[in-house]
Each structure stands twice: as C-alpha cells, then as structure tokens.
A and B are shown apart, each in its own frame.
Chain A
C-alpha cells in the first residue's frame, strides 16, 4: 500500500534538542531548594547490617539528612529493595545521605560506620546448586518469577544431588531437578530419525546494559503531588509501578521522562533507585536529586542473564531439525530477574521449528547485579548458542550454511513453544534470500577460508528473532480549532524515535500535512493515554494500532459533524487536504479547524466530554484534561491479534581473523529484517546497525567478571566493561528490509529493535568459529585470548562451565 508519510524519512521533533544540548534529561533539572543525595552501597556481596553509626556524618555542616531501609517500603524477597539492611550484591544501596552539595554528601558517607556481618555468597549458579552450596539469599537460591501474574515472585532453596553432578563427565552440565519445564512432540522419535545428533554444554555470559545516561532522578512534593523526573523507557506504563514504589495513587504522581539516554531493557519500568529521591524528599521536605554515577550504574543498573546450559539437537540428512532437548540454568542475579529462559526456549522452537522439543530449566540466584531484560532477553543468548551449532551441523552434513537456515526457518503457519501459539506473520526465509542476494553470498563464500599469511577470511550468516508487538492499549488525538492535529502519546522515548514514526499513523489516517501535527509526550501532565513502554520491540506494532484507532475514531466524528452541518450521511463524505468534503460535490466542505470548533460546540463525545467506557483510567484522566479543546479521537485498540508477532533479522558478515593475535577486522556487515511495513527508513537503518554493534560486543568483548573469593565486580567502568569502540566495527554497514506487511497491523508494521542485535552477535560468533576451521567455543564472548589459545592448540584458561570469569 502506498502511504504519504509512512516509509518516508522525516526529522523527529526531539532531534534538534539532542543535537544542540537543549534536551533536558533527568539530571539536567534544577529546582529551588534542591539538595543532592549520594548512596552508601554495600562493599560486600551478601551481608547483614548490624548497626549504622551516622552521628559524625549528620553533624557535618551542609548535611541535611539520612534515608535508610527503615524509611522506605520493604520488599519481599527476592524483589529488589529500595534500600536494605541485607545487601545481596556489591553496590546494593544501604542508605542515602542528602546535603547541600554532592561532595558534602559523599564526605558525610565516608564518615558513616557500618558494622557488617558477612553472609554466605556465590557468583556461580552451579556452585549454589551443589549440595551444601551457598545460597545467594537467606531464603534460598531458586527463584519462581511468576512473571506477568498477579502473584509476587518467590525464592526457595533448591539443591541438586551429588549424584546429579557425579553422573556427568567434566565439562558437561549436570541436569538435576528443574523448576520449569515443557515439552511437545515425540522427542525420542526425532532423535532416532536424525541423521546427526549434536549434544553440547555451553555458557552464555552476563553483560551490562551500559546505558549512556545513568539512572539519575529528581523528586519533590508540591500540593500533595509527588513530582518525579526520571530516566525511563516508559511514560504512562510507569505510573502504576511508580505508585507502588512510592506508596501513593497514580493520580498523585507527576512523572517527567521526556528523554532517555538509553535503557536497552534496564529502564523498562520504574526501578527502586528512581524513588529514593521521592522518599527522601518527603522525609526532609526538600527537593532531592540523586545522580547515579557510572560505577553505580554498573552496580545497580542491571545486567543480562547468563546461562549454563546443555542441548541435544537432531538433524535430518537435509539439515531439518527434528528434536531439541534443552536444559537451561539461568544465572538470575540477586533479585527477581527476568524470564530469559522463556525467550531462549521459545525462540529456539520458532527459529528452528523442531518437530519435538523439551525444555527444562531453573532460575538460580547469585550475588551479582539484579537481572533484567536486555535487548533480546533469552532470544539473543539463544542465537549466539544455536547458530554456531547450525554451522556445525551444516558442515557435518555437507549443507550450505544459508540452506540449513532456510530449511528450518518458520513461515506464517509456524507455532511457538509448548503452547503452540500461532504467529501473525514470519518472513525470515525472505530476509535470508534478500540478504544472500545483496551480500552476494554465493560469490563471497568462495573466499571463505582464504589465507593471507596469518589472516583467514571468514564469511558467515545468522538469524535472530524476538517478539515484536502487543495490543489492547489506548489512542488519543485532538484536532484543535487552529487546525492542528495533536497526537498524545504515552509511550516512552528510548531514543529510537518510534514514538514519532508511530504518531505519523494518525496523520496518515487523517491525511494531515505532518507540519501541522504536534506530538504531546514525556510528562504525565500532558494528558497522555495509557500505553505500554518502549521495550520488547513492541512500539511499532502496538502504537501504530492505538494511533490508528484514535485517528479512525476522529475521522468518524469528522464525517458525522459534516453530515450534521452539510446534510446527508457520514458515508457521503471523504477527507483530504485537512478538510472534510462531500464526495458528490467537493466544493461542499469544512476545514478541520472548523470541524474542531463545531466539536467544541457540540460537546459530548465530539469534544471528549464523553469517552469510551473501556479505556484505561489513565487514558480517562488524559481525556478529561483535553475535553472541550477540539475534536477528540479516543479509543482502545480492539483490532484483531491472534498469536505472537515475530520479528526476524538475518545477519551477514565478512571478517578477516588473525590467528596470531586473536584479533579480527569486520570487513562488511549486512542486516536484513522482517519488520513488516517500514515506517521510518533512517531510524530502521540506525536500529539495524546500532543493534549489530551491540551484538558485536555481546559476541566478542563484553561480560561480567566477578572475583569468586570476594564477590567483587571487575568491570565497573566503560573501559573495563568494553562495549565495542568505533574502530571495532566496520565504518559502513548495509541494511535491508523484507517490507512485507503484517496482516494483523492496520499499516502492516512490526517492531524489530531486538533481533537486530542477535543477528550481529550470532553472525560474528559464527564467523570467528568458521575462521578457526570450525572451532566452536560454545561460550561467549569469544575474546582474543580464547582465539590465540585455540589457534595455538592450547587449552583454555577457564574451567568448563565457569561463568563470571575472565
């Protein structure tokens, strides 16, 4: 379908502020009487605070007050606390001090004496599962997340038997009793029928989110309302969580989150440190700014879950996967965590479409940062694990590496996971085919393995997946008497500009000139509808639907008013050039400005005085704020959606690896996506390339490192945690999209933010392995030391299945 606005590049309205520095992030705000808070965080991985002596600190000039765990709502284990007297990781906040300046606050913290009792701790799940092994939390080591359910998470003690450990050879994952499991199909028959069965244990490293904007927050109370300025991927979706964390109703919270300097999943929903200023401000009756430092961001800014796993995969002669048996031990960090196991296992069931599959898994706590979703949570760990196994199978079965992915790739009739959930559309085969053509796969693989001295050329391909859309949220637009279209959007602003590209759907429906549209967002006082946040690659799918239904509602009302004023029925009218006109006599028309004025006069549903019953209370609040200001379009998204919305990325890579140094150069990268209709080519290109860069880090440079003796983290600075630098990535990268509309989205759109990372990560892992003549490390990241050891035929330094190691 041809669109006027969709699929075209445009300048999102917040770019200028970002480029000029006018954009105000949470820590840029200043308020009269504001004081600064600093955190005292735990130096120990697990401890009990026996006593706190802050007398000397509180006596210092310029110190305003102290906030301890006794001043904030408690959280039941294993939920992450706001402040705690039982820290469960190094860097866990114990208390905060407020002072006239940050330096004074820190000087005061340096004078606080805490008597700690060190408690048992662990940084390796398998160590914790061993009989008698340490528990990361006093209550146990195994978390039941109850994700998405109205019941809180639980933590219990779970130990495997010594026999479980003794029964496997060293280097293989023991498979003791799981806490989650599902199965479909006939697993055994699949393996019996297989021409090739691969069985491997593996390790996937945890890594940090490295959000460029640390999660600073400012709060103050005014006229009974708590004002929160935060760094978040969400806006309206945050209100209920903030309400719970602060302990007041959502309508008593003003939340400002206009800009977010990166979150990658770690700022999806309000997090405990965000409300420390709110509680502190209430206690000392001063506005409180808490700036989180880079090191603190590494402590409490969350991380991706790592895995210790084992899998058995059966392949037919032609490369088709028959059965997958998967065991996952999720390194779940110190708090509730995130169900990466689900993403990993369901991802495998969709990307390789096995006829039978079994998952067994367990979430194990460690005294390391709380885990949260990171771009492709589970799905991208799956990609870096399974894609090299596809290469290995292709090699052993003498099949082209592209072909084995094609034969296993899902189509629109694929089913996902144990629930055998359908998908809305799936075009990874088309992405692979398009990429193969654009990358010139057939010719390039001829260079594969070419040696130039110590350098080896290696070409690889990989696929990655992530779900990409939700439904059921609300849309809200207003045409005001000045003729402007005001799109109110309650989604966050992660930095992808999709808040803007999805708002353009309302303009497209109402045939608006984009210059006459205004987006309202970033502040709960701006009358915003209830929308989900910018996470889970969902915005493009979810928000195009809400803006579509709101704009459609507005269009219906426009035509009704035209019929009222100019005679006939609404169906007799059409819209164009920001007018409604009679189809039979286009000279009979009203401008949108005139219609908006009429809507105000008519009141009722036309001006938003009345609204639908089924919209969310937050949307009702937003609607009440704009009622009477123009012609209002408001509706809940009740459009058809059956099943999971999948997005895919096929990554193609060409590298030259030096076997003497363990270094490589990425000569070329191409990402091809199945994201439905392309909404905004420039931002899609940026997503594909930026996601690949993040993936290269996951593949080759980034991991958490913990000292098992002290529980200390080694990587608490950008130079230690090592996201890729500009000379670690190719100077130019290619991109393309299948551009096949999703039938269950009114404009055919799907999200794609997450698989683009997996495509980059898995393709690089595959290319490195391929360059080493099929040395499959079965762990990531693959760092130069591992490559040098492998190339020299020397053993690796780490112990098998060891995690959080160098």
Chain B
C-alpha cells in the first residue's frame, strides 16, 4: 500500500488540436488526456493508473474561454471553474452554472480545475480509488455492493455490478440547461446532448462518458433556451469546502406568473450518471408553485430508488432537495 509517489511518465504538451490528435492516435489507449489534473494526479501518484503518455491539453488556446454565440454560450472545455463562477456572461444568463462551479471542491482546485475535467472526472468510489480489482477496474467483483460494504456515498439508482455515482457538481447543471457537448477527433466533430454524454455501468463499466480514446471534449454549448430562467442549485456535502456532493440538485424553471410553465431538473450523487428527474418535471409542469406542488414533487423524486446498506438517507435527502428546488427557487 505505497501511495503518494508520482511515477515517471512521458509528458506531451501539444499546442494545437492537430498536434493533440496526432499524439492521441499514436498512443491510442495508452494516452491520458490531462486538463486541470485534479483527478489525474491522484491516480498517478497512487500508481493505480499508469498511462504510457500524458497529453497535457493546457497549451491549446482554442479549448479555453467563454464565448457568446447566436445560439447561446460556448464554454471551452479547459476553462477553469473559477473563471466560470466569475464570468459576467455566465452569472448573467446562466447563474445556475456559476453557482455550481463555485461549489466545486475548494478555491485552489477551482483555480486549476476545468469544466471539461469536472464533467469527465472518474468515479470516486473509495474501493475503486484504493486500487481494488473491482468491475470498474477490470475485475470481477464489487466491494461496495455487499452486505458489509461501506457504501454511504454510493448509488440508489442504476446499480449494475458497479454502484459508483457521478460526483460532479456541474454535470447536473448541464443536463438541466440542456447543454451540448462538442466532441472532436482527428476526423470529425460530433455533438452530444449532455444527458447522453454520461453513461452508466450498463453501457460501459470502465468509462463514465461517451468519450472514445482518440476524442477530446472541446467545448460545452449552452442554448439560450433557459437563459435567465428561475434557477435553483444546492449541494449537500459533509463539508462546505473540498468535498463531493452526497446529493446535489440543479433546476431550471420557466415561470408564468405563479405557474411552472416548464422545468428541467437533475441531480448527482444518486446514480452513475447525472440523473434527470423527468417524473418530477412531469408532476410540476403546468402547476402553480406552492407547497402542495413542492410536496408532490418531493414525493415523486425518489420513486424506484433502491438504497444500499449505508445510503438510505439519500432518499429523504433527494426528496427534500427537490422540494426546496420547487419551493425556494
């Protein structure tokens, strides 16, 4: 159990996309794409993940920055969480994302951590992080989903051999804002809805997104559809700084008078992907915003949840957060 010792690795720092794709192709699955490094360095230092080459994308300027477009806003994948939290464009129209970005980890981590890295980060299951040979690590067991497993932070939905959750604070926001993920490889660009970007263990147990080895997430596009809506974000974690969410909630609501005209609501910490709460959306859409609607939304929020031994609390917590999103937004 020797940890905390960075190994040697080949570091490649491309300055443009073509160069990056060339390197990624050269190393194939042996390449590791590095953004802010706040997830990667732990893996390297613990010597659990041993990539052949680390491809540092930070020298590629076109991956950075927040731009206004005719359709909305485009955020470069390597834009830091601190920049997003402070951006006038984001705080003005999409304060939901600014709020979430400002609750990620700590100021130091937000200064280097990127939005791309935040949505692409790997599972935080502590067994997996300890280097256990679990399903996600290519093995044939899950240590968390057992009668005695310590699984307080794990999922209440979508268990499929693996019970890890999406630990991201920004991912549910992107789902709520109906964002698109711009993905490129050397040959083509494809656009994937945020909701489809994240994948569960039933699709691929060793990855958490649709990104293929040769692909780079270049930007995130947020349509103006939900700009200036009524927003609600809340994160519940053990600590208020430098902690992952037990459950978080992100809602974008269009109000007409006191009527909820439309809504998109999603959460993280309950499933391997950010979970869009479509049942809640259906329950509240067209209803007046009052205690009764909030209570109905809450009672429908956790339907179908299957808790593990130590995470029953996520059911009332999710219900409460949904109640607050409707009631207090």
Contacts and interface: CB of A to CB of B under 8 A. Distances in A.
A707 B7 contact: no
A710 interface: yes
A716 B3 contact: yes
B305 interface: no
A107 B2 CA distance: 11
A705 B246 CA distance: 17
Contact of B1 (A90, A722, A784, A794): A90
Given A43-B1, A661-B320, A805-B150, A728 B313 contact: no
A223 interface: no
Nearest to A294: B4
Given A110-B47, A788-B317, A299 B312 contact: no
B64 interface: no
Given A710-B143, A805-B150, A805-B310, A662 B236 contact: yes
A457 interface: no
Given A42-B1, A719-B243, A794 B316 contact: yes
A710 B143 CA distance: 9
B127 interface: yes
Interface string B147-169: 01111100000000000000000
B150 A661 contact: no
A38 B132 CA distance: 22
A792 B302 CA distance: 14
B243 A299 contact: no
B136 to A, nearest CB: 16
Contacts of B152: 785, 797, 806
Interface string B124-140: 00110010100000000
B8 interface: yes
* Interface-central residue, A38, A661, A706, A727, by most chain B CB under 10 Å: A661
Interface string A55-91: 0000000000000000000000000000000000011
Nearest to A42: B1
A784 B314 CA distance: 10
A452 interface: no
A293 B127 contact: no
Contacts of A294: 4
Contacts of A90: 1
A701 B4 contact: no
Contacts of B42: 717
B2 A660 contact: no
**Taking chain B's interface residues, is the majority helix, strand, or loop, or is none over half, making it mixed?**
loop
Contacts of B310: 785, 797-798, 805-806
Interface in B1-59: 1-8, 42, 46-47
Nearest to B244: A719
Interface string A234-269: 000000000000000000000000000000000000
**Taking chain A's interface residues, is the majority helix, strand, or loop, or is none over half, making it mixed?**
loop
B146 interface: yes
* Interface-central residue, A90, A294, A792, by most chain B CB under 10 Å: A792
B149 A789 contact: no
Q: What is the interface residue range for chain A against chain B? A: 35 or more
A274 interface: no
Nearest to B130: A712
B119 to A, nearest CB: 19
Given A707-B127, A788-B317, A794-B313, A103 B3 contact: no
B3 A725 contact: no
Interface in B272-290: none
A598 to B, nearest CB: 58
Contact of B127 (A41, A712, A792, A797): A712
Contacts, number: 138
Nearest to B328: A453
A789 B317 CA distance: 9
A469 to B, nearest CB: 35
A39 B2 contact: yes
A91 B320 CA distance: 40
Interface in A659-695: 660-663
A518 interface: no
Contacts of A785: 152, 246, 310-311, 313-314, 317
Contacts of A726: 241
Contact of A789 (B146, B238, B316, B321): B316
Contacts of A806: 150-152, 310
A107 B7 contact: yes
Contacts of B316: 788-789, 791-792, 794
B150 A707 contact: yes
Contact of B246 (A719, A784, A789): A784
B4 A296 contact: yes
B324 interface: yes
Contacts of B239: 701, 722, 724-725, 727-728
* Interface-central residue, A707, A712, A725, A798, by most chain B CB under 10 Å: A707
A96 to B, nearest CB: 11
Interface in A270-319: 293-296, 299
A296 B1 CA distance: 9
Interface string A698-719: 0001000111111010101111
A789 B313 contact: yes
A788 B320 contact: yes
A72 B42 CA distance: 33
Nearest to B314: A785
Give 9 closest A-B pairs by Cβ, nearest first.
Answer: A293-B4, A725-B241, A727-B240, A785-B313, A806-B152, A660-B320, A792-B316, A295-B3, A106-B5
29 contacts: A42-B1, A90-B1, A91-B1, A106-B5, A106-B7, A110-B47, A293-B3, A299-B1, A454-B324, A663-B236, A707-B143, A707-B148, A708-B148, A709-B143, A710-B132, A712-B130, A714-B150, A719-B242, A720-B126, A722-B238, A725-B241, A725-B242, A728-B241, A784-B246, A784-B313, A785-B246, A788-B316, A794-B313, A806-B150
Given A663-B236, A784-B237, A784-B246, 13 more contacts: A43-B1, A109-B2, A296-B3, A661-B321, A708-B148, A718-B242, A722-B239, A725-B239, A788-B320, A792-B316, A794-B312, A797-B313, A806-B310
Interface of B: 1-8, 42, 46-47, 106, 126-127, 130, 132, 143, 146, 148-152, 234, 236-243, 246, 309-314, 316-317, 320-321, 323-324
Interface of A: 38-43, 90-91, 102-103, 106-107, 109-110, 293-296, 299, 454, 660-663, 701, 705-710, 712, 714, 716-720, 722, 724-728, 783-786, 788-789, 791-792, 794-795, 797-798, 805-806
